[in-house]
A and B are shown apart, each in its own frame.
Chain A
C-alpha cells in the first residue's frame, strides 16, 4: 500500500504533472489536501488545485488488493455548476499512470 507521507515532495510533483497532463489548458496551483469519508464509509485522499479557469480535484481510492490506488481527476470550470470526471488513472510505484480520459 502506498504511503503518501514518504517522499512527499516527489509525490506532490507526480500529482502536479498528472494534473497538467490532463488539464493542459489551465495553469493550476495546489491549494489544499484532505482526507474525507464518503456516505459509504470509503476514505478518500484528495488534492485540490485552483486555476484561472477551473478547479481540479485529484482523488485517491485504495484498492483491497493493495497493488495500486485508483485515481480520479474531476474538474469544474469556474462558471459551471458541477464537476465532471475528466480522467482515471492508477497510482503505483510512486507514479500515476493514465488509464483513460472520459469524454
Chain B
C-alpha cells in the first residue's frame, strides 16, 4: 500500500474490512476534522479579512471560508464570492448569499469575464494543499481571474510550530461517532490520518499538507512573476500576499 498512512492508522488500513478513502471530503466527519485542522486558531477569520479586504472590491475565495464568517462579511457589505466544488462545505451559507458560490473557476470567468477580481483569498491553509508543481501551475493560470493589480492572500503554517506539535494522537466525537486522528511530519509534508468506526463500517482517511517557509514560497512565486510579502508572522502561521509583477 502506498497511501500516506502511519502507525495504528496504517495497521487499520491494511485490514480488508477497513475502507481506505483518498479524500477526507468523502466523509463528513473527516471533513469536519480536516477543516478544523487547516484553520489556524491563532487568527480570527473575521479580524483578518476585515483588516485586509476592502469593501467595494470584488473578492473571490477559493475553498470554503467558514460559513459564519462568509455570511457575516457579506452581510456587512463585502463583495465576496466563493469557488467551492464540494456541496457539503457550502451547506451553512445563508440562502441570501448562495448565489455567490460557484463550483469551479470557468463558471466564474463565464459569469464575470476575465480579470474581474481585485483579490483572491485562499482561506485557512488551503495553499498548503498544493505541491510545488501545482502551485506553479496555479500561479500561471490565476491571472485570468485577477485584475492587473489584483492580489492573492493566503496563510501558511509555520513549519517550526508544526514540527513541535505534530505526532499528537487524539479523538473527537463528531455526529455521535468517535473519530481518531493523528499527524506526522515527513520531510516537508504534514500528514494527517483519521480513523472511525460507525456501526459496522470502518474507515481510514488521510490528507497531506505541504509545509512551506515564507521565503521559499515567495521565491517560488517570483518564478511565475508574482511578488510576495509577509503581512503577519505569528506563533503558528504566517500571512502572505502576492501580486503579479507588471
Contact = CB atoms under 8 A, between A and B. Distances in A.
B104 A38 contact: yes
B137 interface: yes
Contact of B144 (A36, A39, A63, A84): A39
Interface string B132-157: 00100110011011000000000000
Contacts of A44: 103-104, 106
B105 A38 contact: yes
A42 B107 contact: no
A41 B138 CA distance: 8
A82 interface: yes
A39 B104 CA distance: 8
Chain A interface size, as a band, is: 20 to 34
Nearest to B24: A64
Interface in A34-61: 36, 38-42, 44, 46, 57, 59, 61
Contact of A63 (B87, B142, B145): B87
B26 interface: yes
Given A39-B142, A39-B145, A72 B26 contact: no
A39 B26 contact: no
A71 B83 CA distance: 14
Contacts, number: 78
A31 B141 CA distance: 27
Chain B interface size, as a band, is: 20 to 34
A39 B103 contact: no
Contacts of B105: 38-40, 42
Interface string B86-113: 1110000000001100111111001111
A37 to B, nearest CB: 9
Given A40-B83, A41-B134, A42-B85, A85 B102 contact: yes
Contact of B107 (A59, A62, A65, A100): A59
B106 A85 contact: no
A72 B107 CA distance: 9
Instruction: Determine which residue in A40, A74, A83 has the highest number of CB atoms from chain B within 10 A of its CB, and name it.
Output: A40
A64 B26 contact: yes
Contacts of A62: 85
A81 interface: yes
A74 B83 contact: no
A40 B23 contact: no
A102 B23 CA distance: 29
Interface in B32-53: none
Contact of B111 (A46, A61, A70, A74): A74
A66 interface: yes
Interface of B: 23-28, 62, 83, 85-88, 98-99, 102-107, 110-113, 134, 137-138, 141-142, 144-145
8 contacts: A40-B105, A41-B137, A42-B104, A44-B104, A57-B107, A63-B25, A63-B87, A64-B86
Interface of A: 36, 38-42, 44, 46, 57, 59, 61-66, 70, 72, 74, 76, 81-85, 100, 102-103
Given A44-B106, A57-B110, A84-B111, 11 more contacts: A38-B105, A38-B106, A39-B145, A40-B138, A61-B103, A62-B85, A65-B27, A65-B28, A70-B103, A82-B110, A85-B111
